[in-house]
Structure 1
Amino acid sequence: MLRLFAIAFLLVPFYLAAQVTSSIDSTKIKIGQQITFKVEVEADTTDLVVFPEGQTFSPLEMIESYKVDTTKNNAKYQLIKRYGLTQFDSGSYTIPKQKIIIGSKTFFTDSLRVEVSNIEVDTTKQGLYDIKPFIKVEKSSSNRWLIILGILLAVLLVAFLLYWFIWRKKPLSEDAKIALLPPYDRAKLALKKLDESTYLQNAELKDYYSELTFIIRKYLDEKVYDKALESTTDELISRLNLLKDANQIELSTEDIRNLETILKRADLVKFAKSAPDIELAKLDRNTIDIEIDHVKEALPEPTEEEKLLNQQYKEEQAHKKKRRKVLLTVFISVFLIIATVIGFGIKYGFAYVKDTLIGHESKELLEGNWVRSEYGIPPISISTPKVLKRLDTPVPEELNDRVKITAFGYGSVLDFFSVIVSTTTVAEAGEDNPIDLKQAPEGAIRQLEAKGIKDITVKREQFITPNAAEGLKTYGTARFPILNSENFVDGHYAIIHFVAEGEKIMQQIMITWTDDDVYAEETVERILNSIELKKAEE
């Protein structure tokens, strides 16, 4: 039994290893040619299987990750995952071991060797041509045009509503059209509508005489005596006689007597419940019609001065109406702008709204078109708001043969925001004399102090990139000098260090920003989360 148990114990690793196998369809390819890396996994139906993702095949480049093929065999799943790999430089390369997680266990594939050879060019059959010139590439557009389009549509909508409800010349209603007629025409039209009424058919004499006397009183109020509507019959007749005697109106005594008779009969109908004959009511209507004509004829023609004053009055009224429209439009526009600013301020914060309207450099960096690129050898892949430009990094002459530094950056440590990526190669370092990652931050801190930065606090922690590269993060606060000034501004810094390729290359990412920059924290976090390291070619 003990011997059987020992044999079973020795077979367990082989059983587990048999769950993961890997292979490639070719070990020799031309530059740029694709090979397929295949991983086969056998697992229980309840196990979670995690395949490698991202550029984990360096120095080969993954150009495509295919979907997992799954087949079921009793209580097991047979999973096949394929990757398309290539390389654009000739040489001999090794595909590193790939980590596969099955349930709670971790497995590694075998490392595989691939030979990449140059493509032979027969220059006797294939002509050689000059290198083509650079082609200008248009900058990719952001979603800012959508914001501008939305604002434009909102402005057009408000403008249309203001035009429709305030500035549009609205069609006149029937009553409005009548109100624009001269008093004489309105009086004649009112008599015509009175004829079309059913007052006399229904023997509603009180309403009939009320309407009839209102027509003549309204006409007199507008053309003769401006208190005709509110005066009693005696007061009105007395005023007409005075105007006649003063030669201000050429009405005959008979005309005034006819008006007096009809007005007093109407008073009896309205207040004493008198009921005259229907034909008499019709006769009174015709008399009023005639008297309206007589009053018009009796009125003196307006003088040129009166006509001018009337024109000026109309122009003043039109100017007042236009001014009311302008004031109302301005008030509504200002109200909508203030309401919009307050609404966005409540939702996003008033500082954000202010920076959006006025502009803020860090906000524009954060919301602009970011660039992902690789810097140095071995390459550091990083996303930044702007492309990092190569920086001059002088090295003392005595160290020229031993130290090489390449650096790329945006801004400097004395600016309000900066990103600097550098790669330092030390010739004397190596596996026997490796660069000490823990000592690297001390040199970076000394560089900050040499720039005049003071009161530097230092904290350290492990830093792991999304593709599992391990480094050291040094961060803290400091006081940065303001250029051309003796003053300082409070700020932060973060420095990431990695050691690569035989422990003789040190890679560094340094980011600095000020305390009062409300957008910098999000920008820095986005930059740090984007850092990935790629292994150098063997």
Structure 2
Amino acid sequence: MKNRSLTTITISKVASLLLFLLLSFQSFAQQPKVNAEIDSTSIKIGEQIIYSIEVETDSTNLVVFPEGQTFDPMEMVESLGADTTTVKDRFKLLKKYSLTQFDSGSYTIPQQKIIIQNREYLTDSFRVEVADVKVDTTRQKMYPIKPAVDVPKPFEVPNWVWWLLAALVVLAIAFYFFRKKKKKKEEQKELPPYEQAMLELKQLDNSSLLPNREIKEYYSQLTFSVRKYLDRKIYDRALESTTSELIAYLELRKQAGELSLKDKSIDNLQQLLKRADLAKFANSRPDVITAKSDRTKVEHLIKDIRQVVPEPTEEELMQDENYRKEKLKKKRRNKIIAILGGIVVLAIIVITVLVNTKGFDYVQDSVLGNETKELLEGDWIRSEYGTPQVTITTPEVLVRKTVDRDDELQEMLLGSETFDAGTLEGNLYTLLITGPVNPQGDFDLQKAVDGIYESLEAQGARNIIMKQEDFSTINNTEGIKVFGTFNLENPVTGGPIKKEYAILNFGANGGFQQIMVVFNEDDEYAEEISQRIESSVQLKNQAN
């Protein structure tokens, strides 16, 4: 009985142990697996390697791959999408990165951290050797040295000139609005002709001109009041007419029956004006009694004119109304022009200040706008072109076009397709050519590259500087890169436009492929666009 009890206990312990081992093995078998590898441990400067991370797990929802420049000292060019496959009840995720380095030396890619279900897993580190690119000068086509060109030093405006200009503009605006405001106040204070004339005479009486024996100024104000009244009521040129012209006009109107002034009133006015002329221009000094008498005559003359000048007809009133409307319209138009002018001047001031404080490049990019910067920061398009197929990412879609090829290139190809965006004279020009090689022809990639110089010259390029080096795409397709600078004639000014260019040439998949990017020299945004386009080129086999 006792032995049976011991046997039962032993069997129970063994079963528990086996169950524990089974659960532990199952738990171990379900742990995620992480593996990393690179496709090459040695590259040339600028070449790219593919860094792959493979994760095997039960769920894809809780896997976080490295992002950003975590591969330093290697530079990440592109983060490719993760591919997912299913093996039985588990998932395999494959994530790839394109890495490069532009300095020779030995570099270590550090361990990368992958987070799976809130747990961290580290990959192995890798050693990569980056070698210099050797240039074979014996195979490089030589061209004659271009003569040196003396470039005159550009004229630079000192900063103090811009600040002085801005200050003068501000003062001019302030003076304009001050004068306008003063004139507006004067117009608002203007009374009807008769009331205005009486007010001016009263102000003259209250002045100290006569007691101070300022006869010349007294007669100037007195005659101005009567002339202004005549200007507003009878003759619109009374203020600028001479004494004889004004009297002759009044007498002519009287003889025509249009003005029923008494002869005595016209004579008094003539005597007053002549006496004022003598006082103003001949230093004559009438006595105070005569001056007061002339003042009284002016008042009587104004009252007589008020009585004899007929009321305006309906037609005159309409004409006057149209005149006021036209004047009001003109005033509004001048106001709009003044506002627009003020806005333009203010914009010039702001731009001038920004140029002196931030620099012209900042103003061009942020205020005036920069076409290549907008292209760089906009949405890029990745597409496939022609046969053999070329996959490339560009800021603009390349459009198919028809061009004539030189006889030598035509003999090497069965045909070709051309796609481009922009113009050669513009800020950015992208060209893509692809076509199958003629199997009966003698195709030589280096021979096609040598023809680039003549091709650029045929398009108007001058002072061409050409360099050459080996190039490799992200999927390790070998080719030749030709790059450098040239001058292009400006079709508007006739002056030179300095251009930079980069041309990638491949003889892959039984065909010839060429990608060219041309942009303005010293345009940092366009240069970055060119580099992104180059790094995105991928050639695929026609069978794929």
Which band: TM-score by shorter chain? Answer: 0.3 to 0.5
TM-score by length of 1: 0.40
TM-score by length of 2: 0.39
